[in-house]
Amino acid sequence: SQQGEEDPQALSIQEGENATMNCSYKTSINNLQWYRQNSGRGLVHLILIRSNEREKHSGRLRVTLDTSKKSSSLLITASRAADTASYFCATDTGRRALTFGSGTRLQVQP
Amino acid sequence: EAGVAQSPRYKIIEKRQSVAFWCNPISGHATLYWYQQILGQGPKLLIQFQNNGVVDDSQLPKDRFSAERLKGVDSTLKIQPAKLEDSAVYLCASTSDRAGGYTFGSGTRLTVV
C-alpha cells in the first residue's frame, strides 16, 4: 500500500519560478525522505528530515514536516529546466523499508 | 564511490519465459533492496536483504519471483514464469545506514509481451 501520497500529480512552471510539492502519509514515522527521478533513470536521494525536525534546507531545496498533520512539503526555489523530473516522498517507519508515494511530475519550461 | 550497478538495462521477453536481473550494491552496504516500479507509480518494495539474510519479502510474489544475495554482496532477482503485468522497472538500492538515504541503481526496464 502507498504510505505517502504526493500532490499535485503533475506541475508545470516557468524557469525561475518556485515549485511546491506536498506529501501526506498515514502512520507515524522516524523520518521522511524526498527523491528525484529523471526519466528512465533511478532515484536520487535529495533530503531527509527526521520526525523531530520541522524544517530543513539543502541548496535550493526547502523541506517542511508537520507530524501533527502527517504532511510534508518540498519547495524548489528559482527552478531550472534541469529540475524537470518526478519527485517522490518516502516514509521510514523504522519497522520496514522505505514506502514511496506515487510522485509529482514536475515540468520546468525554459 | 561507485554507484549501485544493475544489469541488464533493458529486457524484452515473452510471457511465460523466465528472466533474471543482477545488482551489485555499493561496497560495504549491508542492506540491499529490490523495488518494482510500474509506469506512473512509485516504487514498491519486493524484498529486503540484510547481508545475505532476508529481512522482508512479504510483498514478493513467491509463486513466480525469487531473489538471493550470495555472500552478502551481489544479488539476483528472478521471475519465472513472467506475466504481462510484470512489465515494470526493477530497481535495486542499497544503504549502509538503516536510517539513512538509499542509493539506487539505474534499474532494469522489463517488457513482457
User: What confidence score (pLDDT) does residue A1 get?
Assistant: 45
User: What confidence score (pLDDT) does residue A41 get?
Assistant: 87
Tell me which chain B residues have a C-beta less than 8 angstroms from the C-beta of A104.
Answer: none
Residue with cell 519560478: A17
The rounded distance, in Å, linking the Cα atoms of A72 and A65 is: 4
Tell me which chain B residues have a C-beta less than 8 angstroms from the C-beta of A48.
Answer: 100-101
User: What confidence score (pLDDT) does residue A31 get?
Assistant: 95
The rounded distance, in Å, linking the Cα atoms of B76 and B83 is: 19
Mutate to test the interface with B, among A34, A43, A63 (most CBs of B within 10 A): A43
Nearest residue, CB atoms, B56 vs list A2, A31, A96: A96
Mutate to test the interface with B, among A98, A99, A104 (most CBs of B within 10 A): A98
Q: Could you state, in chain order, the average pLDDT of each consecutive group of 10 residues for chain B (113 residues)?
A: 90 98 95 96 96 93 95 94 98 85 96 98
Q: Is the dihedral of CA B55, B57, B59, B60 positive or negative?
A: positive
What does the mean pLDDT of chain B come to?
Answer: 94
Tell me which chain A residues have a C-beta less than 8 angstroms from the C-beta of B44.
Answer: 100
* Of B43, B42, B39, B45, nearest in space to A102 by CA: B42
Mean pLDDT of the A84-109 span: 94
- Cα B53 from chain centroid (whole Å): 15
Is A45 touching B (CB cutoff 8 A)? yes
